[in-house]
Amino acid sequence: MRKMFVITLMGIAIVGGTGISATAGETKAKMEKGKGEAKADYQEAKGEAKALTEEAKGNKTKAEMERAKGNVKGAGERVKGKSKETKARVE
């Protein structure tokens, strides 16, 4: 009887520990995705600000280049965030 109780208790502990681990992974994955999105938005806003500064100076070509750089850096940050999210889900 005592053996059965100990085995049951161990089984509950193992199953409960696995559930907690999965929840922590999901939380970390969402956090990584959010960080990637925030960094991407920041890079795009930074590029837009530089573009507006260049337009004020009269450099339309350089303004478009700054806008494009901001968009490319933003896309890169989104990819990094997605990659880290996937990695966190796998862990």
The number of residues in the chain equals 91
Q: pTM for this one? A: 0.67
Q: Would you list the domain boundaries of the chain?
A: 2-90
Q: Are 70 and 46 in contact (CB under 8 A)?
A: yes
DSSP-derived letter for residue 58 is T
Enclosing H/E stretch for 41: helix 2-57
pLDDT at 29: 86
Distance of CA 58 to the CA centre of its chain: 37
User: Is it the case that residue 10 has pLDDT exceeding 80?
Assistant: no
Q: Are 47 and 73 in contact (CB under 8 A)?
A: yes
pLDDT at 68: 94
Give the model confidence (pLDDT) of 21-57 as tens digits: 556 678 888 898 899 999 999 999 999 999 999 999 9
